[in-house]
Structure 1
Amino acid sequence: MDSPNSSAPIAEAGTPKGTAPLSLLSRNLGVPSIVFMVVAAAAPLAVVAANLPVLIAQSGNGGAPYYFLVCTVLLGVFSVGFTLMSRYVPNAGAFYSYIQAGLGRITGTGAAAVAVCSYSMLLIGVTAYFGVATENLLSTGIPWWVFSLGLLALVALLGYRDIELSSKVLVVALVLEIIVVVAMNIGVFVHSGSAGSSLSVPLSTLGAGVPALGVMFAFYSFIGFEATAVFRNEARDPDRTIPRATYVAVIVIGLFSAVSAWCVVAGVGVDTVVQASADDPENVVLNLMGSVAGAILADIARVLLVTSFFACALSFHNIVTRYVFALAQKNVLPAAFGEVSTKHHAPSRASLLVSAFAAACLIAAIAAGLDPVTVVFTLAGAASSLGVVILMTLVSVAMLVFFRRVDTGKGVWHTVIAPTVSTLGLGVILVLVVTNFSLLTGTQAQAYGVMGFVLASFVIGAVGAMIIRSRRPDLYDKLDDGAATEGQPVG
């Protein structure tokens, strides 16, 4: 089969002015650039300062470092089959493309709708939280939604242009975040050494509280790591770049989060960290930074927490754009959104669609007077979390089916054991998410509403595929064009 680098043009004569074939996409992303974007989406400072206290309070114990390690191992095993399958599935639609290759067009298109829904909700939720965080930081009296709409405008501008520009912006934000967290970690080690206090976090801490909730909340910190495959069409030598970037991203996110969680638990105190996190989740980590590394660092962290949400928004915008771009190329969405800008060598039209949709949803929330944190951010985050866990579980099942049909030349570890372990592990996490969903949404009624919303997105996508099969069987047959079925890698 043809290499992804020699893809046929999207349009020939009559192509709208300003568009170009897929082959003209910028293909300059290497492992570091992709890893930076994925880790930026994971928002390391937001994970440590915002998500970690919630994890500790909800789990009721100080075993946070171990939860991150468990998730790192599980996603590392997941990546074994994921990266192998990437050689046979060139579509930049990432998770949905893998599900489609293993479980069929209808299930795959339903999964695509879930992916677009999930990451769009993440984009909207993060944008709303950014507005509140900025309003609190500046204390100028300007309403939160002004900052949120300003963020969307900036993200729209960057997303419209070459992906390399977004990558460079995210690198700056990410490096600053990491420096602040590392400074805190070093401060904890130095402070504990001079004070003679222990840095030990005993494994026995896992015996208290509800460990299952700890694993569930730790898993949320990895959401977005699939972006390694989303950027396949813009990567140099994707058959090497994507697997390497995936493993590096999982390891970096996992170990960084585990080490930082260890320092927070030890720094605050194994016996007191649960109560401190429950009493003041917004400031427990920032207060620790101030006590071990100086008040200036804590103030800088408050500023960078805002930029962390900006990095999240830009990363998720780019991910949703690539999903929309991939679907438009398959004519599931209007083909115009599957075209490439000749000026920016990027899926600029898909980016405009994503920006317009996010702006419309945010404006609707503003007009309805919804609280940006307790309603918009909370419910959007819950919907996206559920959707991504469902997608990853389906991908694991799809791996098992795909590797039974396609001879990859790899052994049983790559094609049977690793996909089976990831299927079981992710299945357990999915059960934990569903059974504890009201903790994310606030009420059982809201939990049912959000779960119904995610399910509806799958149904809409699946029904859309059925309609295409009925009315345009030629387009339906092309939904999985490019995926290998005879054991030959597409690249």
Structure 2
Amino acid sequence: MTTPSLVEVKPRLQGNLGTGAIVFMVIAAAAPLTVIGGNVPLAVGVGNGAGAPVGFALAAVILLVFSVGFVTMTPFVTEAGAFFSYVTAGLGSRAGLGAAFTALVAYTAIQVAVYGYVGWAADDLVTHFGGPALPWWLYSFATMAIVAVLGYRHIELSAKVLGVALALEILVVIVLDLVIFTTGGANGPALETFDPANVFTGSIGVAVLFALTGFIGFEATAVFRDEARNPEKTIPRATYLAVTIIGAFYAISCWALITGVGADSVVTVAQATLAGEGNMLLDVTEQYLGTIMRDVVQVLLITSLFACVLSFHNVIARYQFSLANKGVLPGRLGVIDKKHNSPSASSIVQTVTAAVVLGILAASGLDPLVGVFGSMAGVATVGMVILLLTTSIAVFVFFARRPSAISGRIWGSRVFPVLAIMGLCVALWLVLSNFTLVTGGSAFVSTILAIIPAVAFALGIVLGKRFRLDRHSADDVDEMDASS
């Protein structure tokens, strides 16, 4: 068999996305309102209580440290393959394909997870306003149909849709935060949040874990490279802005909810939410903003989830598009639609894949939150940490092999990648040691789910010998070394 050559000129997507548009795509994938309404009660009720905001801040710091090395290597990676392109340039084709397969598994899992969540949330919204109780999966597949139409078209249409939905959900949470802090909350600002006795009471690891789950989609800054305006400047700016905004938003909003409820009773309220005996976010919204705004937030939760699945759809479609143009996936997936300038064939396949996985889970009779969202989010979180860790190692190795490229980049090429590797190893341990809390399943089921991303990575390594992934970026640096 002839080894597929991946160095010939392939079709490239085009666009004019600026920093703001790409940041919107990344933050939309993070689904901030969904995290505030779902991950925060988990971090507080199961994790370290009033000290949970510190866990969110720590997760943001870990990703900012990672971002320094990621951004430093960006000028040397000129294709829109994101993490797997970085891993290929630093560690070779086999590891690169392993990262690509891991990413496909992780992003498909989180997308299916959110489809389960949006089905539950839509049914809850309809019944709240007196409508009939219908199977959750009807709403999930209806959402999928809309996402399929938007994902098929040009990326700038998706960016506009995401921008409107994202602006509304962020605005309402900011208003809630401001009202809570200006009115003093239940007992004044919850300064107990920063008391070491609270930060390290319970499990701060759980808070970090659910914060990391909220950052899934962070890779999108590089996925849209070909469609970005001046990517050498746009991608770094978008990366730092996205991580900083998401991290600050999570930490401050978590602190606001704790202040609104009161540090002394917040664990009880959060645990009641997890038991289905209330809703921490909606109840606090009603208390401080009134019933109408509670209803508005409940509607915006749907738009938040929709923006999330649309963003992941676009990311996965572009992953498949990039892999198809490397000969790894069928060439049809690498075709650009002439009318919409989008990876339309890849978009269709992505929709079918998500529909099949969701259909199997729905047919199994799983609960949309614990069974679908919990288990799939767990798979995605493990996959994300593996990707981040592998990419940090790739950055370090890439520059270690090319001394001339290090000039003026010592912090980004050596120091921060090492710090990121150390931090992500700790994060991976936290995720795995608390994995049953994410999946909601038994230790056996959780173990099976946890190894799925690792199996995908191993499969990529095994199949990688059949493909010679494009390493022109690395070759360019090698030529620079030879001429210096």
TM-score using structure 2 length: 0.92
C-alpha distance 196-117 of structure 1, shift in aligned 2 (>3 A): closer
Higher mean alpha-carbon deviation, 415-424 vs 478-487, is at 478-487
CA deviation string 1:14-56 (max 9, x = no partner): xxxxxxx32xx23210000000010011111111111111011
Shift of 1:370: 2.7
1:359 to 355, 358, 380: 355
Residues 1:453 and 2:433 aligned together: no
Q: How does 1:131-280 map to 2 (within 5 A)?
A: 131-139=119-127, 140-192=132-184, 197-200=188-191, 201-204=193-196, 205-280=198-273
Shift of 1:171: 0.5
Runs of 4+ aligned residues of structure 1 deviating over 4 Å after TM superposition are none
C-alpha distance 420-380 of structure 1, shift in aligned 2 (>3 A): same
Q: Percent identity?
A: 42
Shift of 1:267: 1.4
CA deviation string 1:213-247 (max 9, x = no partner): 22222222211111000110110111110000000
Contact 2:77–2:85 (Cα < 8 Å) also in 1: yes
Shift of 1:64: 2.0
CA deviation string 1:140-175 (max 9, x = no partner): 233211111111111111111100000000001101
Shift of 1:375: 1.4
Higher mean alpha-carbon deviation, 41-50 vs 184-193, is at 184-193
**Structure 2 unaligned blocks of 5 or more:** 1-6
Q: How does 1:8-157 map to 2 (within 5 A)?
A: 9-10=9-10, 21-22=11-12, 25-139=13-127, 140-157=132-149
Contact 2:223–2:318 (Cα < 8 Å) also in 1: yes
Aligned counterparts of 1:146 and 1:59: Cα–Cα separation in 2: 33
Contact 1:64–1:261 (Cα < 8 Å) also in 2: yes
Aligned residues: 462
Aligned counterparts of 1:262 and 1:60: Cα–Cα separation in 2: 13
Aligned counterparts of 2:354 and 2:305: Cα–Cα separation in 1: 15
Aligned to 1:13: none
C-alpha distance 487-84 of structure 1, shift in aligned 2 (>3 A): farther
Aligned counterparts of 1:181 and 1:345: Cα–Cα separation in 2: 35
Q: How does 1:469-488 map to 2 (within 5 A)?
A: 476-483=467-474, 484-486=476-478
Aligned counterparts of 2:479 and 2:371: Cα–Cα separation in 1: 48
Aligned counterparts of 2:355 and 2:432: Cα–Cα separation in 1: 29
3-state secondary structure, aligned to 1:37: helix
**Structure 1 unaligned blocks of 5 or more:** 1-6, 11-20, 469-475
Aligned to 1:414: 412
Q: How does 1:414-453 map to 2 (within 5 A)?
A: 414-441=412-439, 442-453=441-452
Contact 2:187–2:259 (Cα < 8 Å) also in 1: no
Aligned to 1:16: none
3-state secondary structure, aligned to 1:280: helix
C-alpha distance 104-196 of structure 1, shift in aligned 2 (>3 A): closer
Shift of 1:488: 5.5
Aligned counterparts of 1:237 and 1:208: Cα–Cα separation in 2: 46
Contact 1:88–1:488 (Cα < 8 Å) also in 2: no
1:394 to 378, 390, 393: 390
Aligned to 1:465: 464
3-state secondary structure, aligned to 1:373: helix
Aligned counterparts of 1:34 and 1:148: Cα–Cα separation in 2: 26
Shift of 1:478: 4.3
Contact 1:26–1:163 (Cα < 8 Å) also in 2: no
TM-score using structure 1 length: 0.90
Shift of 1:137: 0.7
Aligned counterparts of 1:292 and 1:233: Cα–Cα separation in 2: 44
3-state secondary structure, aligned to 1:381: helix
Aligned counterparts of 1:414 and 1:148: Cα–Cα separation in 2: 42
Aligned counterparts of 1:59 and 1:32: Cα–Cα separation in 2: 34
Shift of 1:199: 4.2
Q: CA RMSD in A?
A: 1.8
Contact 1:110–1:458 (Cα < 8 Å) also in 2: yes
Shift of 1:412: 2.0
Aligned counterparts of 1:412 and 1:63: Cα–Cα separation in 2: 35
Aligned counterparts of 1:447 and 1:339: Cα–Cα separation in 2: 38
Aligned counterparts of 1:157 and 1:285: Cα–Cα separation in 2: 31
CA deviation string 1:402-441 (max 9, x = no partner): 1112332223211111111011001100011112212222
C-alpha distance 411-28 of structure 1, shift in aligned 2 (>3 A): closer
3-state secondary structure, aligned to 1:107: helix
3-state secondary structure, aligned to 1:28: coil
C-alpha distance 61-488 of structure 1, shift in aligned 2 (>3 A): farther
Amino acid at match of 1:434: L
Aligned counterparts of 1:215 and 1:488: Cα–Cα separation in 2: 41
Contact 2:90–2:395 (Cα < 8 Å) also in 1: yes
CA deviation string 1:123-146 (max 9, x = no partner): 111112111110111122332111
Contact 1:26–1:162 (Cα < 8 Å) also in 2: no
Shift of 1:398: 0.8
Contact 1:131–1:145 (Cα < 8 Å) also in 2: yes
Contact 1:125–1:378 (Cα < 8 Å) also in 2: yes
3-state secondary structure, aligned to 1:51: helix
